[in-house]
């Protein structure tokens, strides 16, 4: 029951953050929202397809795709929040490396870490969207 509630809460948070970024953000935030949403969807489909309770390989692949997408966006748009997003992805890769050293040894720490980094990515997307809104407002005032 608690797992279902947390899953529903995380999906609500994901959809509301992505919608906010798409509605109020600039081009970088829209593309990042698309990339984040696509990788979350791919990870969920991969989990359903494999049937694993901890789909570490699926999450790893989704994180690699997201990291490459964010790196391309960071090079194209040069936003500081995208640099921080790449640091979050780097921390995620570190968690994956630690997990694959001894698979299944500390699944709770791994999952809590991945969830916390996913939440940090959504917070960065909101921050980037707010910064884009502020930048547009300042440009319109000038």
In this prediction, residue 1 carries a pLDDT of: 67
Summarize the chain as % helix, strand, coil (round to 5).
90, 0, 10
In this prediction, residue 109 carries a pLDDT of: 85
Question: Are 62 and 53 contacting, i.e. CB atoms less than 8 angstroms apart?
Answer: no
pTM of the model: 0.91
Q: From the CB of residue 55, how many other CB atoms can be counted at a distance below 10 Å?
A: 18
What is the distance between the alpha carbons of residues 88 and 120, in angstroms, rounded to a whole number? 7
| Token pair belonging to 45 | 């489909």
Q: Which residues of the chain have pLDDT under 50?
A: none
| HSE toward the beta carbon, residue 19, CA cutoff 13 A | 6
**Phi, psi values for residue 85, rounded to 5°:** -65, -35
In this prediction, residue 81 carries a pLDDT of: 93
- Ordered by where they begin, the domains of the chain are 26-141 (1.20.120)
What is the distance between the alpha carbons of residues 77 and 46, in angstroms, rounded to a whole number? 30
């Amino acid at each position: 029951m608690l797992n279902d509630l947390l899953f529903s809460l995380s999906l609500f948070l994901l959809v509301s953050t992505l919608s906010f970024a798409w509605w109020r953000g600039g081009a970088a935030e829209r593309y990042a929202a698309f990339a984040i949403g696509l990788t979350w969807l791919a990870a969920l489909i991969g989990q359903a397809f494999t049937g694993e309770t901890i789909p570490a390989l699926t999450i790893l692949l989704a994180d690699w795709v997201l990291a490459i997408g964010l790196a391309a966006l960071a090079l194209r748009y040069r936003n500081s929040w995208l640099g921080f997003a790449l640091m979050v992805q780097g921390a995620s890769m570190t968690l994956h490396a630690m997990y694959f050293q001894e698979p299944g040894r500390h699944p709770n720490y791994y999952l809590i870490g991945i969830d916390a980094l996913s939440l940090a990515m959504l917070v960065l997307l909101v921050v980037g969207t707010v910064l884009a809104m502020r930048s547009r407002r300042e440009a319109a005032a000038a």
